[in-house]
Amino acid sequence: MNITVWNEYRHEQENEQVKAVYPQGIHEVIASFLSTEHNVTTATLDEPEHGLTERVLGQTDVLIWWGHKAHEEVDDDIVARVQQHVLDGMGLIVLHSGHFSKIFKSLMGTSCDLKWREADEKERLWVVDPTHPITTNLPSYIELDKEEMYGEHFDIPTPDETVFISWFEGGEVFRSGATFKRGNGRIFYFRPGHESYPTYYNEQVQQVIHNAVKWAQNTHTPKHHYGNAQPLEIIKPKNDDSQ
Amino acid sequence: MNITVWNEYRHEQENEQVKAVYPQGIHEVIASFLSTEHNVTTATLDEPEHGLTERVLGQTDVLIWWGHKAHEEVDDDIVARVQQHVLDGMGLIVLHSGHFSKIFKSLMGTSCDLKWREADEKERLWVVDPTHPITTNLPSYIELDKEEMYGEHFDIPTPDETVFISWFEGGEVFRSGATFKRGNGRIFYFRPGHESYPTYYNEQVQQVIHNAVKWAQNTHTPKHHYGNAQPLEIIKPKNDDSQ
Amino acid sequence: MNITVWNEYRHEQENEQVKAVYPQGIHEVIASFLSTEHNVTTATLDEPEHGLTERVLGQTDVLIWWGHKAHEEVDDDIVARVQQHVLDGMGLIVLHSGHFSKIFKSLMGTSCDLKWREADEKERLWVVDPTHPITTNLPSYIELDKEEMYGEHFDIPTPDETVFISWFEGGEVFRSGATFKRGNGRIFYFRPGHESYPTYYNEQVQQVIHNAVKWAQNTHTPKHHYGNAQPLEIIKPKNDDSQ
Amino acid sequence: MNITVWNEYRHEQENEQVKAVYPQGIHEVIASFLSTEHNVTTATLDEPEHGLTERVLGQTDVLIWWGHKAHEEVDDDIVARVQQHVLDGMGLIVLHSGHFSKIFKSLMGTSCDLKWREADEKERLWVVDPTHPITTNLPSYIELDKEEMYGEHFDIPTPDETVFISWFEGGEVFRSGATFKRGNGRIFYFRPGHESYPTYYNEQVQQVIHNAVKWAQNTHTPKHHYGNAQPLEIIKPKNDDSQ
């Protein structure tokens, strides 16, 4: 499977605290643990065409997206191109603050707004769909000692499947793992991963992402026949006064 | 309830056959049968701002949308404005060829593509969710002697509720009545209504639209509190090596 | 609207602590606050036919169910009768430990199992579907100082709508408000209400139950025509070797 | 994968016309085409325990069910046993008239009623979820020259996924392929297969059943921890007057 990990890659270059956690960027950490099983490349905002050329997307089975402070700098034409590839069958994993990315909002049709708080607080992600393939090899919950909080209401369409619900130390809950089908594409939103915490080094978080890319890969992309269609049955002539 | 009926209003002015069916335009027929119960206004493509100013939308409880040949002429800024009002709680009824409108595609996130055929063929819309309020006062199916065919696959997200499924004389089926929640807004897609047929004079079709506007009206629009949130519980200090 | 409140009514007679909270039984408290708007009667386990005769159910628009320690004493024939009335259009509100009642399990088809703990702990029910009529006149969450904990995984079919998700002081989450359509009947499961706490005196809990009975009332119960059906179209004779 | 094909096996022994189509019974035809890829055994109504002993079910990954005229003869204890195995993770494929089987009704909670007609009529099953694995290697529709008609309304809970919708020559439609998760088990209802027609010899029908057993196999059955749970966080003592 060919995976492309896209990262905004700004916090890690501009903020010493974040750089200390992800010296080569969040994308390199994710690419690293996925590359044990898959063919993984990376792309970032400041590359030409954000690294998401037609050629790159044409060869991508699953795209992973991390963005936060520069959503507005992502070119609308590139967003439309990514959306088309999702509809054509490319899987998409949207991480954490990617909830506010143009690509996620375009596919959802809603504001994707939520509550948030940065307070070094504990998060516990409970599995609520325990036979879902995205929960393979996981215990009944994942505990993260320090994370940013995201709280309900999360303004998304009703997910096709709700896989995780988070408990936060400060008193909120959140639908932290949610799947959506759009066109031929499978989309998974996964909440954790604030840039200042070492969340993507957590083995259970890595297991979720491993499971998610397998789930999102579309091994069966049918060719639809849209547009003008010949009748399959005889259509009787109607008289002019009918109806 | 305040209803705005929006119509592209081109076929009726350019095509003699269509003009014969809807001399004042499709919007006037729909406005007419709804005005027995509601406060109804109309808006059309060629008015300034397509007739969909902030003031008009701000006073609209439910917007009805019919468009076909000029989807591309609808201004992107007006589409964004309509979408914002839907997310803020305005109901939206999308009719027939409106499946390809910018506003419907923006809210769905998919291509909204389908099969079609113009062949004076019979359509029978079966009720598959018989206790749904949109089916109030309807028999188990609605029969239309002559309609355009729309056939599956219909490229939409899985509807929250599938209310009608159509049978077509030429051999196809279609999910002809489908509901979606987006933000605070309720959306109903209803298939029938090709411009060359007198579909909107059909009393059962009128009953569906009557039911749909009642269903789509949002009498309860909460004020969400999004953004930065104070904790509701005490968050314990974490040591620096945690996680 | 005619509401019947059914209660097992054993804890309140056998346990002094519970009797202190609900001297006349949980059913009387619920009946009391609903009777300001509706015609309410009560029924309990130890009445003949558990108080759920054909006559009673035939006059009931919405049935509320509280049971806990004596689920097995509910007669299977009465359960089948209640189920039939739900399928025929009677609304059903299942409260708290009713998750394990025969009637709820019969309608769900699953074990309806969950985690639990009695520890005087805080519960906070977050609204996750804020335009749902069951959340009318509620703030963004309901806080209960002391309740029994119910935790995921909750073994139910995927709800048609998830209205509330609970946060618990001890670290768990739970889908605390969930709707299901079965036949012509609307079902709402609502989590709070352990017998030793004064939960049903809480005004916001009462608001939810007020909202829920309105939502569950089926004002539109169609008569379906099941069974052998005459064709609506001509079916061509097939030759014997066909297919 | 271990598959058990269960068949009522009465029509084939009592009716010459049916015997001519399925001389060894429907189960043997289904077992035959599945045995090219899987380890398949059969079981029938008139065997001891209907052939569905604990040992047999304990070794079954996916159970296929065909029944029609003798649903009432299936022992309630065996139905409860099958249901428990489904909830524990065994896949279940319910075929055609199995919609009225005790096991399907127990898992659905509804009447599972529908319209029907035996008139040698054409059925066309349209794919409405074209990336679903159950549609792998299928064209956009399956055409069957002669089948029994099943028509809406089909009284089932809203399916998790609707995979096929049928068009019938006589004018009806039907949700012919529908998936449901119950506990750890995956369930697929597939409409075609009246006993007097050679439907299970059709290669595309066989392809659907091949796809369905793969989809229904649960390779990941978690052990849930239900019941009394220790707190994961400290629960503060409450004063007696709280709430």
Whichever domain contains A16, its CATH number is 3.40.50.880
Judge whether residue C105 has pLDDT over 90. Answer: yes
Mean pLDDT computed over every residue of chain A: 96
> What Cα–Cα distance (Å) separates residue D121 from each residue in A179, B173, D169?
39, 16, 6
pLDDT at B221: 72
CA distance linking residue A92 with residue C62, whole number of Å? 44
The yes-or-no verdict on residue C159 having pLDDT over 70 is yes
Mean pLDDT taken over chain D: 96
**In this complex, which of C130, C218, C225 lies closest to B224 when CB atoms are compared?**
C130
Identify the closest residue of chain C to D143 by CA–CA distance. C243
Say yes or no to pLDDT of C223 above 90.
Answer: no
Pairing of strands C173-182, C185-190: antiparallel
pLDDT at site D241: 54
Looking at residue B222, what is its pLDDT? 77
User: Is B89 in Cβ contact with C225 (below 8 Å)?
Assistant: no
Q: For the purposes of burial, counting CB atoms within 10 Å of the CB of A49, is it exposed (0-12), middle (13-18) or buried (19 or more)?
A: middle
- pLDDT at residue A241, rounded to an integer: 54
Confidence bin at C221 (pLDDT 50/70/90): confident
Which pLDDT belongs to residue B220? 79
The reply to whether C96 falls in a domain is yes
pLDDT band, residue B243 (cuts 50/70/90): very low
* β-pair partners for D27: none
Confidence of residue D219 (pLDDT cuts 50, 70, 90): confident
Interchain proximity C222–B130, CB inside 8 Å: yes
Predicted ipTM of the assembly? 0.96
B33-55 pLDDT tens trace: 999 999 999 999 999 999 999 99
Average pLDDT over residues C41-53: 98
What is chain B's mean pLDDT, rounded?
96
How confident is the model over A109-155, as pLDDT tens digits? 999 999 999 999 999 999 999 999 999 999 999 999 999 999 999 99
Is A190 inside a domain boundary? yes
Cis bond leading into B225, ω under 30°? no
CA distance C128 to chain A (A): 5
- Looking at the DSSP assignment, which residues form a beta bridge with residue C91? C62
C121-153: pLDDT as tens digits: 999 999 999 999 999 999 999 999 999 999 999
Q: Residues A84, A89, A95, A101: what is their CA dihedral angle, to the nearest 10 degrees?
A: 10
- Whether A155 maps to a domain, the answer reads no
- Whether C151 has its CB under 8 Å from any CB of chain A: the answer is yes
Rg, C-alpha atoms of chain B? 20
CB contact, 8 Å: D23 with chain B?
no
pLDDT (tens digit per residue) in A147-197? 999 999 999 999 999 999 999 999 999 999 999 999 999 999 999 999 999
Following CA atoms B98, B103, B108, B109 in sequence, which dihedral angle do they give, to the nearest 10 degrees? 120
pLDDT band at D240 (very low <50, low <70, confident <90, very high): low
Task: Tell me how far apart the alpha carbons of residues D179 and C160 are, in angstroms, rounded to a whole number.
Answer: 14
* Residues written for chain B: 243
pLDDT for C165-219, tens place per residue?
999 999 999 999 999 999 999 999 999 999 999 999 999 999 999 999 999 998 8
Point out the least confidently predicted range of A98-107, B229-238, D17-26.
B229-238
Q: Which residues of D touch B151 (CB under 8 A)?
A: 126
In a domain, A221, yes or no: no
Please identify among residues 45-104 of chain C the ones whose CB lies closer than 8 Å to any CB of chain B: 89
Under an 8 A CB cutoff, do D168 and B172 touch? no
pLDDT at D242 over 60: no
Q: Residue D1 contacts by C-beta under 8 Å, 6 or more apart in sequence? A: D37, D38, D39, D61, D62, D213, D214, D217
pLDDT (average), residues C83-104: 98
Which of A88, A179, A220, A235 to mutate against chain D (most D CBs within 10 Å)? A220
Q: What is the β-pairing status of strands A115-127 and A161-168?
A: antiparallel
Q: What pLDDT, in 10s, does the model give residues B78-127?
A: 999 999 999 999 999 999 999 999 999 999 999 999 999 999 999 999 99
pLDDT score of A222: 77
**To the nearest whole percent, how much of chain B has pLDDT over 90?**
94
Q: How far is D235 from chain C (nearest CA, A)?
A: 6
Which of helix, strand or coil describes residue D234? coil
- Assess if residue B102 is contained within a domain: yes
**Chain segment D124-133, per-residue pLDDT in tens:** 999 999 999 9
The answer to whether residue A133 is domain-embedded is no
Whether D175 has its CB under 8 Å from any CB of chain B: the answer is: yes
Mean pLDDT is lowest, of B30-34, D210-214, D235-239, for D235-239
The pLDDT value recorded for residue D220 is 79
Give C137 to chain B, closest Cα distance, Å: 8
Structural domain contains residue C153: no
> Which pLDDT tens digit goes with each residue over D155-186?
999 999 999 999 999 999 999 999 999 999 99
Cross-chain residue pair D165–B167, CB shorter than 8 Å: no
pLDDT over 80 (residue B19): yes
Q: Do B140 and C222 touch (CB under 8 A)?
A: yes
- All residues of chain C having their beta carbon less than 8 Å from the beta carbon of residue D181 are 157-158
pLDDT surpassing 60 at residue C243: no
Among candidates A131, A186, A233 on the partner chain, residue whose Cβ is nearest the Cβ of D184: A131
Residue D234: count of CB within 10 angstroms of its CB: 9
Of D128, D161, D167, the CB nearest to B153: D128
pLDDT score of A126: 98
Q: Which of A210, A172, A170, A218 is nearest to A190 (CA)?
A: A210
Q: Which residues of B touch C90 (CB under 8 A)?
A: none
User: Domain for residue A197, yes or no?
Assistant: yes
For residue B173, the chain D residues in CB contact (below 8 A) are: 126, 128, 165-167, 173
The CA distance from C38 to C209, in Å, is 12
Domain span including residue D195:
2-216
Question: Could you give the CA distance from residue D144 to residue D123 in angstroms, rounded to a whole number?
Answer: 5
Task: Compare CB distances from D131 to A124, A136, A221 and report the shortest one's residue.
Answer: A221
Number of domains in chain B: 1
Closest-CA distance, A216 to chain C, in angstroms, reads 21
